Structure 1
Amino acid sequence: MAVAAEEAAAAAREPAGRPAAGPALLRLPEELLLLICSYLDMRALGRLAQVCRWLRRFTSCDLLWRRIARASLNSGFTRLGTDLEQSHFTRWWGYSPVSWPEGMASVPVKERVKVSQNWRLGRCREGILLKWRCSQMPWMQLEGDSLYISQANFILAYQFRPDGASLNRRPLGVFAGHDEDVCHFVLANSHIISAGGDGKIGVHKIHSTFTVKYSAHEQEVNCVDCRGGIIVSGSRDRTAKVWPLASGRLGQCLHTIQTEDRVWSIAISPVLSGQLMMHLGSDFPPGAGVLDVMYESPSTLLSCGYDTYVRYWDLRASVRKCVMEWEEPHDSTLYCLQTDGNHLLATGSSYYGVVRLWDRRQRACLHAFPLTSTPLSSPVYCLRFTTKHLYAALSYNLHVLDFQNP
C-alpha cells in the first residue's frame, strides 16, 4: 500500500538510537518495555507509536503484533501461530528465510494486521482477471506467484504481476491430455494431478513436457487428491480408488472402495494411514452430498455441499456429529470452501456468484459479495485467497477481490 510504503521509507530515514531525554518510559530496558507493550491492543499500540519516532519504530516490531495477528482475520497465522507466509516460502524455495532475498521481503506483521481489518469490514475492490467465451466449470490452485486454472480440457498456468490483482496475459504453460473437461486437479511434488470427464487421471510434470494419462474409472472422475506419493480419486461410478504416483507404477490401482453414492469430493489426511478409517456423520437427508472437503489438521476438517451447511469436524470428539456448523442464509448449495487455518472461512454459493466471508467465532455470515447479476447467474466453482486477495472462478470469468487496495 502507498501509505505503508511511505511509513517504511520515513522509518528508514529516522535515527535508530533511543532519545537521550524524555519520559521515564523511554529509559526502561527494551525487554521490560517489550513486555509492557505486549499487553496493549491494536489501538493502544497505534497511539503509543505517535509519541515519538523511536517508539514508532519500536512498536512496529513483528513480535508485538503477532499476538494481535493471531486474533485477526486472514493475517497469515494459523491458530497455533504458524506463519504461513514463511512456511509457503520454505515449501516453494526449499529453505527458511533467515534473511529474505532482494525483492521478496516479508510483509511486516503490522501491515498484515492493517489489511486484515479490510477483510473484517468487507472493504475491497472487485476486478476480473480472465474471461472466456463459453460457459466453463473451472477449478484452480495457487502456488507461489502462479495461478493454475482449468478451462475445458486444458489446465493453464499464469504468473501474477507484483500487485497480485492482475495476471500476465500470456500463460506460462498449457497442460493438456484429457478428451473431455478437467473436473478437478491438485498440485503435488512438482506434478499436476488432474481428473477428467473422460474417466481418466492425468499426471503432468510442471517443469517439463512429461504427461501421462490412464483410465481410472468407468465414468467421469469428479475429484482427486495427492499426498506422500499416493493419489486418490472419486467418481460418478460410486467408487474411490487409490493409486501410486511413482513413475514406474502409474495406472496400477492399489485399492478400490465401493461407496453407496457418487463421490463428489475427496481428501487425504495429513497423516497417511493407508486405509479407510471411518464414515463421518449420520442421518443426513437425501441429497446432502458433500461437494468440497479439506483437512486443517490430522484430526479436524471442514466440509460443505448440497444441504447448504458448512460443517467443522473434530475426529477426536465424534465421527457422527460435527462440532460446529454454519448455514448458508439463502438456502443455496455450497460448491466450495477455503480457510486461513484460523478464523476466516470463505464459501462459494450456487446462485449469483455469491462469495461469503465468515468469522468462525460467530454463527452469522460476516459479508457477502455477489459477483454476477441475474442474467449471468453462476455458481462459484472454486475460490482461493491469500492475505491480500480473494480469487473466485465462475462460469464466464475469474474474479478478484483486492483487500490490499480497496
Structure 2
Amino acid sequence: MAATEEAVAAALEPAPGPAAGPALWRLPEELLLLVCSYLDVRALGRLAQVCRWLRRFTSCDLLWRRIARASLNSGFTRLGTDLMTSIPVKERVKVSQNWRLGRCREGILLKWRCSQMPWMQLEDDSLYISQANFILTYQFRPDGASLNRRPFRVFPGHDEDVCHFVLANSHIISAGGDGKIGIHKIHNTFTVKYSAHEQEVNCVDCKGGIIVSGSRDRTAKVWPLASGQLGQCLHTIQTEDRVWSIAISPLLSSFVTGTACCGHFSPLRIWDLNSGQLITHLGCDFPPGAGVLDVMYESPSTLLSCGYDTYVRYWDLRTSARKCVMAWEEPHDSTLYCLQTDGNHLLATGSSYYGVVRLWDRRQRACLHAFPLTSTPLSSPVYCLRFTTKHLYAALSYNLHILDFQNP
C-alpha cells in the first residue's frame, strides 16, 4: 500500500523543462487506467484530490468496477453483472463502506394501529405492502428515505389477511388466509380471486406465466397465469406437511417447497414444474420442527433458506443435495423469518425477537452488524425485509422501519 502511494506521488512530481507539469498526465489514457487499476479505495481517493482533471478521471466507472465487485451491496452480482447502471459505481462504493461499517440512520416510514404480519415488495419507486386483507402501494419521494403518506393504489380482494404476495408480469399475485389466490393487474382495476386451497395459502410465487402456491392444508399447487385459464389447477402435490415457503427456479423447470418439518423427511424438496414429481430433497440432518420460513433462488443451481432452526443455509445443487455448502447461525438462537441477498456478498436476515435485522458478509461466518428495531414491550419479528443499494426496509408488527445507509 505505502509503496503504491509512493509510486503515484513520484509520478505526480513536476517534470523539468518546457513540458513542466505532472508526469502522470503525459501517459496515454490506457496506461493511466492500468496504473490506477492497482489502487485501492484510499489511494484512488487521494489521487482524486490532486486536481480537477484527476478528480474527473478517477471517477470513471471502469476504475471502480473491480472494487465494487468485492464490496457489499454495490449493485454487482457474483458474475459481475451490473444491476444499477444508472448510478455511478464510485458513488455506490462510497455507500458500500457504510454497509460494511454498519453506519446508518434509523427511522420509521409507516405506522399502523393493529398488529399485522405484513409482507412487502419493491418495484422502481414504489413500495407494495400488505395490511390485513389489502395490499397498499406507496410512492417513494426522490430521496428514497421517505414516502408519500397516502397510498396511491389499494388492492382489495381477500376475505381474510394477505399472507404473501409477489409482483410478476405487471400483476400482483396474492395468497390469502381465506384459501384463495388473488390476481391484480397493477395498472388498472382488474382483480380476480379463486379458491385454491382448503386452508390458508401461506406462500406463492410466479415466474414465466406460472404460479405455484403452498398451503397449511399440506399441498402445493401449480396454476397458469393466462387470463383464459385462471383458477385451473395444473398439478396438486401432496407434501404431507404444511408448506411455509415456495420459490420457482430461474430456469422455470422446477420449484422448491419449504415445509414445517413435522415428518420424517427433509423440509426442503424440489419438484418438477411440468409433471409435479419429486426431483430431490435437500439436507438430511434437520431436527424435528426445523421448518423453512423463507427460501429463494440466487441462480438455477444455488438457493438460500432459513427458518425455525436459526440457520441460514446456502445450497449448491452442482455439488451435493445432501449437505449445504455454507451455513450462518443466528447468534441468539432466534427463529429467522426472512432473508434477502444482493446476489453477491451481502446477506440480510430478520429475526423473531426485538425486530433484529442482521447483516452478514458471506465470505465470513460471524455476523457483521445487528440492528434491534423494537424495545422489549413491543418485541416483534421482522416479517419481511427488502433493500436497495442505499436503504433497507423492514416490516414489523406495528410499523415499517428504514435503515438509511446513504445519509447515516
Q: What TM-score, normalized to structure 2? A: 0.89
Structure 1 residues not aligned, in runs of 5+: 85-103
- Residue 274 (structure 1) shift: 7.2
Are the structure 2 counterparts of residues 251 and 20 from structure 1 closer, same or farther at C-alpha, using a change threshold of 3 Å?
farther
- The separation in 2 between residues aligned to 1:334 and 1:321, in whole angstroms, is 20
**Compared CA separation, residues 40 and 59, structure 1 to 2 (3 A):** same
Task: Give the superposition deviation at 1:31.
Answer: 0.6
Q: What residue number does 1:214 align with?
A: 194
Inter-partner Cα distance in structure 1 for 2:28 and 2:163: 59
Cα offsets for 1:14-71 (capped at 9, x unmatched): 9999997413221010011111111111111111112222111111100000110000
Task: Answer whether contact 1:187 1:193 (CA < 8 A) is retained.
Answer: yes
Query: How many corresponding residue pairs?
Result: 385
* Structure 1 residues 248-304: Cα deviation after superposition (integer angstroms, max 9, x where no partner): 000000001111210000000000197643211113100100000011000000000
- Which whole-Å CA distance do the structure 1 matches of 2:11 and 2:188 have between them? 43
**CA offsets, 1:229-255, max 9 Å, x none?**
000000001110000000000000000
The structural deviation recorded for 1:170 is 1.6
Give the secondary-structure state (helix, strand or coil) at the position aligned to 1:46. Answer: helix
Question: 1:18 and 1:236, CA in 2 relative to 1: closer, same or farther beyond 3 A?
Answer: farther
1:286 and 1:371 mapped to 2: Cα distance? 30
CA change 1:74–1:19 in 2 (3 A) is farther
Q: Distance in 1 between matches of 2:329 and 2:82?
A: 30
**Retained in 1: the 8 A contact 2:12–2:22?**
no
Give yes or no for contact 1:310–1:325 (8 Å, CA) kept in 2.
Answer: yes
Contact 1:300–1:314 (Cα < 8 Å) also in 2: yes
Identify the range of structure 1 (350-359 vs 274-283) with the bigger mean alpha-carbon deviation.
Answer: 274-283
**Aligned counterpart, 1:100:** none
- Inter-CA distance 278–12: structure 2 relative to 1 (3 Å threshold): farther
Deviation per CA, 1:330-384: give whole Å up to 9, x if none. Answer: 0000000000000000000000000000000010000000000000000000000
Structure 2 partner of 1:358: 360
CA distance in 2, matches of 1:59, 1:11: 18
Cα distance per residue 1:155-196 (max 9 Å; x no partner): 000000011111011212100100000000000000000000
C-alpha RMSD of the superposition: 4.8
1:357 alignment partner, SS class:
strand
CA shift in 2, pair 1:130/1:14, >3 Å: farther
Q: Tell me the equivalent position of 2:381.
A: 379
Deviations 1:198-256 (A, max 9, x none): 00000000001100000000100000000000000000011100000000000000001
Tell me, yes or no, if the aligned pair for 2:13 and 2:22 is still in contact at 8 Å. no
Q: Which residue of 1 aligns with 2:118?
A: 138
**Residue in 2 aligned with 1:91?**
none
Distance 1:330 1:10, change over 3 A: same
**1:148, 1:156 within 8 Å by CA — same for their partners in 2?**
yes
Tell me the secondary structure at the aligned position of residue 278 of structure 1.
Answer: strand
Distance 1:45 1:54 in 2: 13
Q: CA deviation at 1:396?
A: 0.1
Q: Cα 1:177–1:343, aligned 2, differ >3 Å: closer, same or farther?
A: same
CA contact (8 A) 1:73 1:120 kept: yes
Which has the larger share of strand? 2
Give the structure 1 partner of residue 22 of structure 2: 23
Aligned pairs (5 A) from 1:311-326: 311-326=313-328
Q: Structure 2: how far apart are the matches of 1:275 and 1:53?
A: 63
For residues 15 and 162 of structure 1, the distance between their equivalents in structure 2, rounded to whole angstroms, comes to 45
Are residues 240 and 105 of structure 1, via their aligned partners in 2, closer, same or farther at CA, if it must alter by over 3 Å? closer
Query: For 1:73-106, what per-residue CA distance to the aligned partner results, in whole angstroms no more than 9, with x for missing partners?
Result: 001111111111xxxxxxxxxxxxxxxxxxx992
In 1, Cα distance between equivalents of 2:55 and 2:251: 44
Partners in 2 of 1:371 and 1:294 — Cα distance? 24
Cα distance change of structure 1 residues 12 and 239 upon mapping to structure 2, 3 Å threshold: farther
Q: What TM-score does the superposition give when structure 1 sets the normalisation length?
A: 0.89
Aligned to 2:282, the other structure's residue is in SS state coil
Uncovered stretches (5+) of structure 2, i.e. residues with no partner: 253-274
- Which stretch has the larger CA shift, 141-150 or 42-51? 42-51
> What SS class does the counterpart of residue 280 from structure 2 fall into?
coil
Distance in 1, Cα, partners of 2:285 & 2:307: 15
